[in-house]
Amino acid sequence: MVDLSVLDLSPIVEGGSAAQSLRNSRDLAQHAERYGYKRYWLAEHHNMAGVASAATSVVIGYVAEGTSTIRVGAGGIMLPNHAPLVIAEQFGTLASLYPGRIDLGLGRAPGSDQATARALRRTLAGDIDDFPRDVIELMNYFEPVKPGQLIRAVPGAGLDVEFWMLGSSTYGAQLAAALGLPYAFASHFAPTQLELALNVYRSQFRPSEHLDKPHVMLGVNVTAADTDAEAQRLFTSLKQAFINLGQGRPGPLPAPIDDPDGRLDEMGGAMLRQSLSCSIVGSPERVRQGLADFVRRTGADELMVTAQVYDHAARVRSFEIAAQARDELARLADASA
Protein backbone atom coordinates (compact mmCIF):
# COMPACT_ATOMS: atom_id res chain seq x y z
CA MET A 1 0.00 0.00 0.00
CA VAL A 2 1.22 3.51 -0.78
CA ASP A 3 1.99 6.17 1.84
CA LEU A 4 -0.84 8.33 3.17
CA SER A 5 -0.52 12.01 3.98
CA VAL A 6 -2.89 14.68 5.34
CA LEU A 7 -4.23 17.82 3.67
CA ASP A 8 -5.71 20.26 6.17
CA LEU A 9 -7.59 23.50 5.53
CA SER A 10 -7.81 24.05 9.29
CA PRO A 11 -11.62 24.31 8.96
CA ILE A 12 -13.52 26.82 11.06
CA VAL A 13 -16.80 25.18 12.01
CA GLU A 14 -20.14 26.84 12.66
CA GLY A 15 -20.02 28.21 16.19
CA GLY A 16 -16.25 27.78 16.34
CA SER A 17 -13.27 30.11 16.06
CA ALA A 18 -10.03 30.32 14.10
CA ALA A 19 -8.07 29.87 17.34
CA GLN A 20 -9.77 26.57 18.07
CA SER A 21 -9.35 25.42 14.46
CA LEU A 22 -5.61 26.03 14.60
CA ARG A 23 -5.30 24.15 17.88
CA ASN A 24 -7.29 21.31 16.31
CA SER A 25 -4.89 21.25 13.34
CA ARG A 26 -1.89 20.84 15.60
CA ASP A 27 -3.66 18.11 17.57
CA LEU A 28 -4.62 16.28 14.38
CA ALA A 29 -1.00 16.52 13.16
CA GLN A 30 0.19 14.95 16.40
CA HIS A 31 -2.27 12.09 15.93
CA ALA A 32 -1.30 11.75 12.25
CA GLU A 33 2.34 11.43 13.26
CA ARG A 34 1.46 8.59 15.63
CA TYR A 35 -0.69 6.94 12.95
CA GLY A 36 2.23 6.88 10.50
CA TYR A 37 1.14 9.53 7.99
CA LYS A 38 4.06 10.77 5.90
CA ARG A 39 3.20 14.47 5.43
CA TYR A 40 0.93 17.09 6.92
CA TRP A 41 0.12 19.90 4.49
CA LEU A 42 -1.76 23.15 5.09
CA ALA A 43 -3.60 24.96 2.29
CA GLU A 44 -3.51 28.68 1.50
CA HIS A 45 -6.88 30.41 1.12
CA HIS A 46 -7.81 34.02 1.79
CA ASN A 47 -11.01 35.83 2.76
CA MET A 48 -12.71 32.49 3.50
CA ALA A 49 -14.82 32.38 6.65
CA GLY A 50 -14.35 28.61 6.92
CA VAL A 51 -10.55 28.40 6.53
CA ALA A 52 -8.04 29.36 9.24
CA SER A 53 -4.80 28.60 7.36
CA ALA A 54 -4.44 31.89 5.42
CA ALA A 55 -1.01 32.65 6.94
CA THR A 56 0.17 29.26 5.78
CA SER A 57 3.85 29.44 6.69
CA VAL A 58 2.96 30.60 10.22
CA VAL A 59 0.62 27.64 10.69
CA ILE A 60 3.25 25.25 9.29
CA GLY A 61 5.67 26.47 11.95
CA TYR A 62 3.06 26.01 14.68
CA VAL A 63 2.32 22.45 13.53
CA ALA A 64 5.99 21.56 13.02
CA GLU A 65 6.83 22.78 16.53
CA GLY A 66 4.19 20.43 17.94
CA THR A 67 5.48 17.37 16.07
CA SER A 68 8.88 15.74 15.64
CA THR A 69 9.06 13.39 12.64
CA ILE A 70 6.19 13.96 10.20
CA ARG A 71 6.98 16.16 7.20
CA VAL A 72 5.07 19.46 7.32
CA GLY A 73 4.42 21.78 4.42
CA ALA A 74 2.19 23.77 2.11
CA GLY A 75 -0.38 22.24 -0.12
CA GLY A 76 0.14 24.76 -1.29
CA ILE A 77 1.54 28.23 -1.46
CA MET A 78 -0.31 30.16 -4.18
CA LEU A 79 2.72 31.82 -5.72
CA PRO A 80 0.88 34.55 -7.69
CA ASN A 81 0.04 36.09 -4.30
CA HIS A 82 3.68 36.44 -3.25
CA ALA A 83 7.11 37.65 -4.26
CA PRO A 84 9.32 34.55 -4.68
CA LEU A 85 12.00 36.00 -2.38
CA VAL A 86 9.51 36.36 0.47
CA ILE A 87 8.46 32.71 0.18
CA ALA A 88 12.11 31.63 -0.04
CA GLU A 89 12.84 33.48 3.20
CA GLN A 90 9.77 32.06 4.94
CA PHE A 91 10.48 28.47 3.96
CA GLY A 92 14.20 28.94 4.49
CA THR A 93 13.32 29.93 8.05
CA LEU A 94 11.11 26.85 8.44
CA ALA A 95 13.82 24.59 7.00
CA SER A 96 16.35 26.11 9.42
CA LEU A 97 14.09 25.44 12.40
CA TYR A 98 12.83 21.99 11.29
CA PRO A 99 15.56 20.57 9.01
CA GLY A 100 14.63 17.72 6.70
CA ARG A 101 10.90 18.06 7.36
CA ILE A 102 9.63 20.96 5.20
CA ASP A 103 7.70 20.57 1.93
CA LEU A 104 6.79 23.43 -0.41
CA GLY A 105 3.92 22.74 -2.77
CA LEU A 106 3.34 25.51 -5.32
CA GLY A 107 0.08 26.41 -7.04
CA ARG A 108 -0.96 28.93 -9.68
CA ALA A 109 -4.50 29.71 -8.49
CA PRO A 110 -4.87 32.75 -6.21
CA GLY A 111 -6.77 30.86 -3.50
CA SER A 112 -9.23 33.76 -3.44
CA ASP A 113 -11.30 36.05 -5.66
CA GLN A 114 -9.88 38.93 -7.71
CA ALA A 115 -10.75 41.60 -5.15
CA THR A 116 -8.93 39.64 -2.45
CA ALA A 117 -5.95 39.10 -4.76
CA ARG A 118 -5.70 42.86 -5.21
CA ALA A 119 -5.88 43.31 -1.43
CA LEU A 120 -2.85 41.00 -1.20
CA ARG A 121 -0.98 43.69 -3.17
CA ARG A 122 -0.22 41.47 -6.15
CA THR A 123 -1.16 42.38 -9.70
CA LEU A 124 -3.37 40.19 -11.87
CA ALA A 125 -1.97 41.67 -15.08
CA GLY A 126 0.90 39.22 -15.65
CA ASP A 127 1.12 36.86 -18.62
CA ILE A 128 1.08 33.07 -18.61
CA ASP A 129 4.88 32.92 -18.39
CA ASP A 130 5.05 34.70 -15.01
CA PHE A 131 4.25 31.62 -12.95
CA PRO A 132 6.98 29.33 -14.38
CA ARG A 133 9.50 32.17 -14.06
CA ASP A 134 8.47 32.76 -10.45
CA VAL A 135 8.78 29.04 -9.66
CA ILE A 136 12.29 28.89 -11.12
CA GLU A 137 13.30 32.08 -9.32
CA LEU A 138 12.02 30.67 -6.04
CA MET A 139 13.81 27.35 -6.49
CA ASN A 140 17.05 29.14 -7.39
CA TYR A 141 17.03 30.95 -4.04
CA PHE A 142 17.61 27.58 -2.37
CA GLU A 143 20.71 26.85 -4.46
CA PRO A 144 24.14 27.60 -2.96
CA VAL A 145 25.05 31.27 -3.33
CA LYS A 146 27.09 31.99 -6.48
CA PRO A 147 29.95 34.49 -6.71
CA GLY A 148 28.60 37.96 -7.44
CA GLN A 149 24.99 37.02 -6.62
CA LEU A 150 23.24 40.25 -5.61
CA ILE A 151 20.05 38.84 -4.03
CA ARG A 152 20.00 35.84 -1.77
CA ALA A 153 17.49 34.26 0.60
CA VAL A 154 18.77 34.43 4.17
CA PRO A 155 17.89 31.92 5.48
CA GLY A 156 17.19 29.78 2.44
CA ALA A 157 20.29 29.45 0.26
CA GLY A 158 21.68 25.92 0.37
CA LEU A 159 18.89 24.52 2.53
CA ASP A 160 16.86 21.37 1.91
CA VAL A 161 13.22 22.04 1.02
CA GLU A 162 11.24 19.46 -0.96
CA PHE A 163 9.43 21.15 -3.87
CA TRP A 164 6.11 19.93 -5.30
CA MET A 165 4.00 21.22 -8.16
CA LEU A 166 0.25 21.32 -7.52
CA GLY A 167 -2.52 21.33 -10.06
CA SER A 168 -6.04 20.47 -11.10
CA SER A 169 -5.43 20.60 -14.86
CA THR A 170 -2.81 19.74 -17.45
CA TYR A 171 -0.98 23.07 -16.90
CA GLY A 172 0.51 22.00 -13.58
CA ALA A 173 1.19 18.53 -14.97
CA GLN A 174 3.21 19.97 -17.87
CA LEU A 175 5.21 22.28 -15.63
CA ALA A 176 5.92 19.55 -13.07
CA ALA A 177 7.10 17.27 -15.87
CA ALA A 178 9.31 19.96 -17.44
CA LEU A 179 10.97 20.82 -14.10
CA GLY A 180 11.28 17.22 -12.95
CA LEU A 181 9.23 17.78 -9.80
CA PRO A 182 6.78 15.53 -7.96
CA TYR A 183 3.17 16.34 -8.81
CA ALA A 184 0.16 16.60 -6.50
CA PHE A 185 -3.25 16.62 -8.21
CA ALA A 186 -6.34 18.08 -6.53
CA SER A 187 -8.63 15.17 -7.33
CA HIS A 188 -10.40 15.63 -3.97
CA PHE A 189 -12.35 18.62 -5.39
CA ALA A 190 -11.49 18.90 -9.12
CA PRO A 191 -11.18 15.40 -10.58
CA THR A 192 -12.37 16.17 -14.12
CA GLN A 193 -8.93 16.18 -15.77
CA LEU A 194 -7.32 13.62 -13.48
CA GLU A 195 -6.63 10.92 -16.06
CA LEU A 196 -5.46 13.39 -18.72
CA ALA A 197 -3.16 15.23 -16.31
CA LEU A 198 -1.59 11.97 -15.14
CA ASN A 199 -0.92 10.92 -18.73
CA VAL A 200 0.64 14.30 -19.54
CA TYR A 201 2.85 14.30 -16.46
CA ARG A 202 4.07 10.73 -16.82
CA SER A 203 4.68 10.89 -20.58
CA GLN A 204 6.44 14.28 -20.56
CA PHE A 205 8.49 13.89 -17.35
CA ARG A 206 12.15 14.89 -17.53
CA PRO A 207 14.48 13.58 -14.80
CA SER A 208 16.10 16.29 -12.70
CA GLU A 209 18.28 16.80 -9.64
CA HIS A 210 15.05 16.68 -7.65
CA LEU A 211 13.56 13.46 -9.02
CA ASP A 212 14.65 10.68 -11.37
CA LYS A 213 11.18 9.39 -12.31
CA PRO A 214 7.56 10.61 -12.10
CA HIS A 215 6.00 10.69 -8.65
CA VAL A 216 2.30 11.44 -8.19
CA MET A 217 0.30 12.19 -5.08
CA LEU A 218 -3.48 12.36 -5.43
CA GLY A 219 -5.98 14.08 -3.15
CA VAL A 220 -8.87 11.99 -1.91
CA ASN A 221 -11.70 12.72 0.51
CA VAL A 222 -11.93 10.02 3.15
CA THR A 223 -14.71 10.24 5.71
CA ALA A 224 -14.59 7.15 7.87
CA ALA A 225 -16.53 6.02 10.91
CA ASP A 226 -17.35 2.76 12.63
CA THR A 227 -20.49 2.36 10.50
CA ASP A 228 -21.44 3.35 6.97
CA ALA A 229 -24.43 5.31 8.26
CA GLU A 230 -22.36 7.44 10.63
CA ALA A 231 -19.74 8.12 7.94
CA GLN A 232 -22.44 9.22 5.50
CA ARG A 233 -23.86 11.54 8.16
CA LEU A 234 -20.43 13.10 8.82
CA PHE A 235 -19.95 13.56 5.07
CA THR A 236 -23.01 15.83 4.89
CA SER A 237 -20.89 18.67 6.32
CA LEU A 238 -18.69 18.67 3.21
CA LYS A 239 -21.71 18.31 0.92
CA GLN A 240 -23.35 21.33 2.52
CA ALA A 241 -20.13 23.32 2.25
CA PHE A 242 -19.84 22.55 -1.48
CA ILE A 243 -23.45 23.49 -2.11
CA ASN A 244 -23.02 26.76 -0.20
CA LEU A 245 -19.85 27.58 -2.12
CA GLY A 246 -21.51 26.81 -5.44
CA GLN A 247 -24.38 29.13 -4.54
CA GLY A 248 -22.02 31.95 -3.61
CA ARG A 249 -22.56 31.54 0.13
CA PRO A 250 -19.24 30.23 1.50
CA GLY A 251 -19.02 30.10 5.26
CA PRO A 252 -17.93 28.02 8.25
CA LEU A 253 -18.17 24.24 7.97
CA PRO A 254 -21.77 23.24 8.76
CA ALA A 255 -22.74 20.66 11.34
CA PRO A 256 -23.77 17.28 9.90
CA ILE A 257 -27.44 16.60 9.30
CA ASP A 258 -29.58 13.53 8.89
CA ASP A 259 -30.20 13.12 5.17
CA PRO A 260 -31.92 9.75 4.73
CA ASP A 261 -33.59 10.68 1.46
CA GLY A 262 -30.52 12.19 -0.19
CA ARG A 263 -31.90 15.73 -0.33
CA LEU A 264 -28.38 17.19 -0.43
CA ASP A 265 -27.54 15.12 -3.50
CA GLU A 266 -30.69 16.42 -5.18
CA MET A 267 -29.75 20.03 -4.32
CA GLY A 268 -26.14 19.67 -5.42
CA GLY A 269 -26.96 17.48 -8.39
CA ALA A 270 -24.24 16.96 -10.96
CA MET A 271 -21.92 19.40 -9.18
CA LEU A 272 -21.66 17.21 -6.08
CA ARG A 273 -21.33 14.00 -8.06
CA GLN A 274 -18.53 15.42 -10.20
CA SER A 275 -16.59 17.47 -7.63
CA LEU A 276 -16.70 14.81 -4.92
CA SER A 277 -16.33 11.73 -7.12
CA CYS A 278 -12.91 10.98 -5.56
CA SER A 279 -14.38 10.36 -2.13
CA ILE A 280 -14.38 7.28 0.07
CA VAL A 281 -17.09 7.32 2.71
CA GLY A 282 -17.96 4.52 5.08
CA SER A 283 -16.92 1.88 7.59
CA PRO A 284 -13.37 0.50 7.93
CA GLU A 285 -14.02 -2.25 5.40
CA ARG A 286 -15.46 0.18 2.83
CA VAL A 287 -12.51 2.55 3.33
CA ARG A 288 -10.01 -0.27 2.95
CA GLN A 289 -11.59 -1.39 -0.32
CA GLY A 290 -11.96 2.19 -1.56
CA LEU A 291 -8.30 3.00 -0.99
CA ALA A 292 -7.17 -0.17 -2.73
CA ASP A 293 -9.44 0.47 -5.72
CA PHE A 294 -8.35 4.11 -6.07
CA VAL A 295 -4.65 3.25 -6.03
CA ARG A 296 -5.19 0.39 -8.47
CA ARG A 297 -7.13 2.65 -10.86
CA THR A 298 -4.73 5.61 -10.80
CA GLY A 299 -1.32 4.11 -10.04
CA ALA A 300 -0.79 6.82 -7.42
CA ASP A 301 2.56 6.81 -5.61
CA GLU A 302 1.04 8.54 -2.55
CA LEU A 303 -2.41 9.59 -1.42
CA MET A 304 -3.18 12.85 0.36
CA VAL A 305 -6.23 12.32 2.54
CA THR A 306 -8.49 15.20 3.48
CA ALA A 307 -11.57 15.15 5.67
CA GLN A 308 -13.89 18.06 6.35
CA VAL A 309 -15.56 16.73 9.50
CA TYR A 310 -17.38 19.03 11.92
CA ASP A 311 -16.57 17.26 15.18
CA HIS A 312 -12.84 17.20 15.91
CA ALA A 313 -12.87 13.83 17.70
CA ALA A 314 -14.75 12.28 14.78
CA ARG A 315 -12.24 13.80 12.37
CA VAL A 316 -9.32 12.32 14.29
CA ARG A 317 -11.08 8.96 14.33
CA SER A 318 -11.61 9.16 10.56
CA PHE A 319 -7.87 9.55 9.99
CA GLU A 320 -7.19 6.71 12.41
CA ILE A 321 -9.47 4.37 10.44
CA ALA A 322 -7.78 5.36 7.15
CA ALA A 323 -4.36 4.61 8.66
CA GLN A 324 -5.58 1.23 9.89
CA ALA A 325 -6.88 0.48 6.39
CA ARG A 326 -3.45 1.36 4.95
CA ASP A 327 -1.73 -0.98 7.41
CA GLU A 328 -4.12 -3.83 6.69
CA LEU A 329 -3.65 -3.43 2.95
CA ALA A 330 0.13 -3.47 3.43
CA ARG A 331 -0.15 -6.62 5.55
CA LEU A 332 -2.26 -8.35 2.92
CA ALA A 333 0.21 -7.36 0.19
CA ASP A 334 3.12 -8.75 2.20
CA ALA A 335 1.24 -11.97 2.86
CA SER A 336 0.55 -12.51 -0.84
CA ALA A 337 4.07 -11.61 -2.00
Q: pLDDT band at residue 263, thresholds of 50, 70 and 90?
A: confident
On the question of pLDDT at 292 being above 80, the answer is yes
How many Å separate Cα 195 from the centre of its chain?
19
**Residues 298-334 as b or e (16 or more Cβ within 10 Å = b):** bebbbbbbbbbbbebebbbbbbbbbbbbbebbeeeee
Handedness of CA 84, 90, 91, 92 (dihedral sign): positive
pLDDT for position 111: 55
Averaged over 84-88, what is the pLDDT? Answer: 97
Residue 256 has pLDDT above 80, yes or no: yes
Model confidence band, residue 316 (pLDDT cutoffs 50, 70, 90): very high
Q: Judge: domain 3-335, CATH 1.10.150.120.
A: no
Q: Quote the mean pLDDT of the chain.
A: 94
pLDDT at 88 over 70: yes
Is residue 128 scored above 60 in pLDDT? no
Q: What would the pLDDT profile of 20-34 be if each residue is shown by its tens digit?
A: 999 999 999 999 999
Map out the domains of the chain as residue ranges: 3-335
Percent of the chain with pLDDT over 90: 85
Average pLDDT, stretch 122-136? Answer: 75
pLDDT for 110 equals 66
Higher pLDDT among residues 271 and 322, named by residue: 322
| Distance between CA atoms of residues 149 and 145, nearest Å | 7
What local confidence, expressed as pLDDT, does residue 262 receive? 81
Pairwise CA distance, residues 261 & 184, whole Å: 35
pLDDT tens digits, one per residue of 51-61: 999 999 999 99
How would residue 121 be classed by pLDDT, with cut points 50, 70 and 90? low
The band of 74, judged by pLDDT with boundaries at 50, 70 and 90, is very high
What pLDDT score does 123 carry? 58
Tell me the per-residue pLDDT of 146-194, one tens digit each, with 9 for 90 and over.
999 999 999 999 999 999 999 999 999 999 999 999 999 999 999 999 9
CB 75 within 8 A of CB 7: yes
Task: Say whether pLDDT at 126 is over 70.
Answer: no
